[in-house]
Structure 1
Amino acid sequence: MVSTLLAHDLLWGMTALQLPADAPGWAVESLDLGQPVVVRRALSSPGHIAVGLRGRSREQRYAASMPVATIQRRVRPEDLCHVQSPRDLPALQALTELRPLLDASGWAWGVSGSAGFELATGIEALHERSDLDLILRTPHHLDRLQARNLLAQLDASVCSVDMQLQTPCGAVALREWAGSSRRVLLKDDIQARLVSDPWQPSWEQVA
């Protein structure tokens, strides 16, 4: 299963016993409550997957490693596209408004960040000023004009929308790819580097 796990996937099954002895108390509490962890971009030892834990506040983030054998459930960002919420917040309003556009784009897309966590768990992670975090699976090249047009539509939303383009070589922010800089920051499991083409990156400057 490890080869199919991707950044932003939510995983259930990790326990506090799998945390280092110096892990913060809130991280232990999170796992004791049965909350999921999120797959992050980083290398891990064989049989493990790099994950992140989140607490109640924005500052409470903790990097850890989860044994793949303990995974009980997985929810991908794509699984959350059409999950409905009873809460009326700007990020959720924006998701409702953008859903038809993204469904019609021809690309696979998903919800990540606080919105994805809340939709997957029912735990209130969003507030009035929360951004909406989205991902777009782009296995093939998305040209910069298309990126600018898409960004313009996202920027017309009722809240700030941050979208990551997930290329076969890593992730790049849509806002950067739609910008005027010749090189953009591409993040993979090993490093972040400035590249001119996120779909065919050459070994350029490491950020």
Structure 2
Amino acid sequence: MVIRPHDLIEVSNLKYLSFYEDKEWVTASLRRAPFVVVRRAGLLANSHIPVGIRGTERNQRESALLDPEGVCQLVSPYAIAERQMWNCLSATRRQQPVLQVLDLLAEIMLDWRWGPVGSAGFEIVTQYPTVKETSDLDLVIDGSEVIDYAAAERLVHKLEHLGVRIDIQLETRDGAYVLREILERRASTVVLRTSSGPKLVRNPWQ
């Protein structure tokens, strides 16, 4: 089983989760939607999966470790896009701005391997309403191979006209970059987000 940052995992039983600090809202949230998101830090540390738990409020985020035995279902951001899983949401929920643009986004992103993460990805997979009117749309793009800078600039330009703020992380074999940073700083260093912390890198693919 290949597990990557941003993957959503349905937990079969809460007994498989180890919390750093047990808070009342954490258990309540997991009972409503027993899903966690894979964190980048220390991936598969001590054979356990580092995960994050979302609450109903923006400041409610909790780190935990998940025993692999507790993985009931795993959904990657790329699978969400490939299956266009947002079509399973109710018509009412799809009126939220970041969910409303997904069909058009899928057409624009035809030449890219991509997927929604953050609140949009979470709601699409869990069917639990987490997206708000003011939510940004967070995406990941597969950057395991060197990207075409001109094509990436055209993509960013098209996305700017969708009416919602879109933030894109480029996922490489070594970690993740913010796509805009790569495009703006191609002649200097950019920040690579790795499992051991951020690093300054001059060439994203070396």
Contact 2:18 2:64 in 1 (8 A): yes
2:197 corresponds in structure 1 to: 191
**Cα separation, 1, equivalents of 2:159 and 2:202:** 23
State the partner residue of 1:204.
none
1:14 and 1:31 in contact (8 A); partners too: no
RMSD: 1.7
**Which residue type is aligned with residue 5 of structure 1?**
I
Distance 1:90 1:34, change over 3 A: closer
Specify whether residues 97 and 52 from structure 1 end up closer, same or farther in structure 2 by C-alpha distance, changes over 3 A only: same
How far off its partner does 1:34 sit? 4.3
Q: Structure 1 residue 16: deviation in Å?
A: 4.0
Match of 2:128 among 108, 123, 130: 123
Map of 1:94 onto structure 2? 101
Residue 140 and residue 125 in structure 1: after superposition, are their counterparts in 2 closer, same or farther (change >3 A)? same
Structure 1: stretches of 5+ with no match in the other structure:
201-207
Maintained 8 Å contact 1:134/1:164? yes
2:57 matched to which residue of 1?
57
Distance in 1 (alpha carbons) for counterparts of 2:160 and 2:63: 31
- State whether structure 2 residue 157 is matched by structure 1 residue 152: yes
Q: Deviations over 1:78-126 (max 9, x none)?
A: 12111213220110122222111112x1x31111110000000111111
- Taking the aligned partners of 2:201 and 2:74, their CA distance within structure 1 comes to 32
| TM-score normalized with structure 2 length | 0.88
One-letter amino acid of the counterpart of residue 114, structure 2 = W
1:30 aligns with 2:37: no
CA distance in 2: counterparts of 1:162 and 1:149, whole angstroms: 15
Number of aligned pairs? 196
Q: Secondary structure at the match of 1:117?
A: helix
1:205 — aligned with what?
Answer: none
- Given that 1:40 and 1:52 are in contact with CA atoms closer than 8 Å, whether structure 2 keeps it comes out as yes
Offset of residue 15 of structure 1: 4.3
Alpha-carbon distance between aligned partners in 1 of 2:104 and 2:13, rounded to the nearest angstrom: 37
Structure that is richer in helix per residue: 2
Q: Between the two proteins, what is the percent identity of the paired residues?
A: 34
- The residue aligned with 1:174 is 179
What's the offset of the Cα at 1:66? 0.5
Could you tell me which runs of 5 or more consecutive residues in structure 2 were left unpaired when the two chains were aligned.
none
The farther-off stretch of 169-178 and 29-38 is 29-38
How much has 1:149 moved relative to structure 2? 1.7
* Runs of 4+ residues deviating >4 angstroms: none
Q: CA deviation at 1:14?
A: 5.8
Aligned-pair CA distance for 1:19 = 3.1
TM-score where L is the length of structure 1: 0.88
Matching residue's letter, 2:200 = L
How far apart in 1 are the matches of 2:191 and 2:45? 26
Once the two structures are TM-superposed, the CA of residue 180 in structure 1 deviates from its matched residue by 3.5
| Structure 1 residue 184: Cα displacement | 1.2
Question: Match of 1:151, SS?
Answer: helix
Alpha-carbon distance in structure 2 between the residues aligned to 1:21 and 1:166: 27
Aligned-residue offset at 1:45: 3.0
